[in-house]
Chain A
Amino acid sequence: MSRIQNEPRWIDVILSVLAAFFGVQTKRNHERDSMTDSYWRYIVIGLVLLLAFIAVIYLLVKLTLAYL
């Protein structure tokens, strides 16, 4: 199989990272992701979404404590 030379699309990276958070990925997308040489977009998006996840949990706890 030939390597894709161009960078992956941001939207595909976001969807792949979300799929990884969820724990389920399609075989097709997985193969597409492993074809690329550029991993830094995955790391950046991974860190950004991780921070977003922490923020969501923090907000959920704040809301729960305020309303329960």
Chain B
Amino acid sequence: MEKLLLGVSGLFLFSGRAHADWTVNLTKGVTEISREIYDLHMVIFWICVVIGFIVFGVMLWSVVYHRKSRGAKAHNFHESLVVEIAWTVVPFIILIAMAVPATATLIKMYDNTEADLDIQVTGYQWKWRYQYLAEDIDFFSSLSTPREQINNTQEKSTDYLLEVDNPLVIPVGKKVRFLLTANDVIHSWWVPEFAVKKDAIPGFINEAWVIVDKPGVYRGQCAELCGKDHGFMPIVVEVKSQEDYEQWLAEFKKADALKSQAAEKSWNLADLMATGEQVYSKACLACHQANGEGVPSIFPALKNSAVALGDEALHIDVVLNGVSGTAMQAFKDQLSAVELAAVITYERNAWGNKTGDIVTPAQIAELKK
């Protein structure tokens, strides 16, 4: 018994240290709406506490005070109109009283008008795509936690599974409207500090909005079980001041232009293989595995496969346009021409697939047009 107690208290000590900022309550968040929701939650919580105390208090007192040893005798009456009306009217009044402030907040939450910025958010298995509708900005945001940390061969970082390659960037103090949808299955875009958790459903557009008060990095996760890597598609939102946001916009567009220039220069096999390996681990590895052998009967192998060793055009078509009816996605919009060329070259030359083929970025750039 003592051993068990020691073990249990040890567990609590350990978890206390591992989750220093771990709390049981709802987060207050960083938007006006999220604070209103927090306040509502607290008010309703305390109402429940008071009701609980009164109901269980009266019950306990009655049980003890009218116990048999004191000679209590039960009344055998069948109905009491007064009591029945009271226990119907009182909860009714309490519920209406709670509904008034809750409705006011809900109406605010659903007011999607007059946004300063519209961003389309699309859920993919297993990444997010962000398209700024007024700007020419369109990018994918996928997990950047190294595989070594996931496989426990490296120590896990503080933002383990909550870090991405390209975070969503929005300006502070502006009304940003999100138009949520999905490409394959139902996902859910959830950032607790914004008090936004909205389903992203293929074929539907859901709306949500935020006005964030202070700059910072806010993290969230997919909140709708969406397949194998559901836990590996985090959301990171960087909220920047207006100047920093505009600078980011400019830099993003410059980098985008550089990417299309890179497609025009000539690439050799070694460079493509090096880039291809990085792209592979980001975009393909989750299904086709690090060794290219896939998962038998679920995800096909690339090593010694007919596609990777056969006709180049077919291989390019599969990667760019996907295979309908299977988990193979169309990567045409997800990756740049250089990344696509590199990863296809990599797949045709890695794991003993020594075709020696080079797929050039220029070739892919032509197909992407």
* Contact (Cβ within 8 A) B107 A65: yes
* Further pairs besides A65-B107, A68-B107: 7, Cβ < 8 Å: A22-B88, A23-B88, A24-B81, A24-B85, A24-B88, A27-B78, A27-B79
The number of chain B residues with a CB under 8 A from chain A is 9
Contacts of A22 in B (CB 8 A): 85, 88
Q: Give the CA-CA distance A27 to B77 in the complex, in Å.
A: 12
Please name 17 pairs of A and B residues whose Cβ atoms are closer than 8 Å in the assembled complex, sorted by A. Answer: A22-B85, A22-B88, A23-B88, A24-B81, A24-B84, A24-B85, A24-B88, A26-B79, A26-B81, A27-B78, A27-B79, A64-B103, A64-B107, A65-B107, A68-B103, A68-B104, A68-B107
Q: Which residues of B in the span 311-350 have a Cβ within 8 Å of any Cβ on A?
A: none
Contacts of A27 in B (CB 8 A): 78-79
Contacts of A64 in B (CB 8 A): 103, 107
Taking Cβ atoms with an 8 Å cutoff, the residues of B that contact A are: 78-79, 81, 84-85, 88, 103-104, 107
Would you give the shortest CB distance from B361 to chain A, in whole angstroms? 54
Contacts of B107 in A (CB 8 A): 64-65, 68
Q: Give the CA-CA distance A24 to B85 in the complex, in Å.
A: 7
Would you give the shortest CB distance from A24 to chain B, in whole angstroms? 4
Q: Which residues of A in the span 20-40 have a Cβ within 8 Å of any Cβ on B?
A: 22-24, 26-27
Contacts of A24 in B (CB 8 A): 81, 84-85, 88
A1-21 near B? 1/0 per residue, CB < 8 Å:
000000000000000000000
In the complex formed, the residue of A with least CB distance to B106 is A68
Q: Give the CA-CA distance A68 to B108 in the complex, in Å.
A: 9
Would you give the shortest CB distance from A64 to chain B, in whole angstroms? 6
The 6 closest A-B CB pairs, nearest first, are: A24-B84, A68-B104, A68-B107, A24-B85, A26-B81, A27-B79
Most B Cβ at <10 Å: residue of A22, A24, A27: A24
Would you give the shortest CB distance from A43 to chain B, in whole angstroms? 24
Contacts of A68 in B (CB 8 A): 103-104, 107
Q: Give the CA-CA distance A68 to B107 in the complex, in Å.
A: 8
Would you give the shortest CB distance from A23 to chain B, in whole angstroms? 6
Q: Give the CA-CA distance A3 to B84 in the complex, in Å.
A: 29
In the complex formed, the residue of B with least CB distance to A24 is B84
Contacts of B88 in A (CB 8 A): 22-24
Would you give the shortest CB distance from B198 to chain A, in whole angstroms? 21
In the complex formed, the residue of A with least CB distance to B82 is A24
In the complex formed, the residue of B with least CB distance to A30 is B79
In the complex formed, the residue of B with least CB distance to A26 is B81
In the complex formed, the residue of B with least CB distance to A65 is B107
Contacts of B85 in A (CB 8 A): 22, 24
Q: Which residues of A in the span 47-68 have a Cβ within 8 Å of any Cβ on B?
A: 64-65, 68
Q: Give the CA-CA distance A22 to B104 in the complex, in Å.
A: 27
Would you give the shortest CB distance from A26 to chain B, in whole angstroms? 6
Q: Give the CA-CA distance A23 to B91 in the complex, in Å.
A: 13
Contacts of B79 in A (CB 8 A): 26-27
Would you give the shortest CB distance from A59 to chain B, in whole angstroms? 15
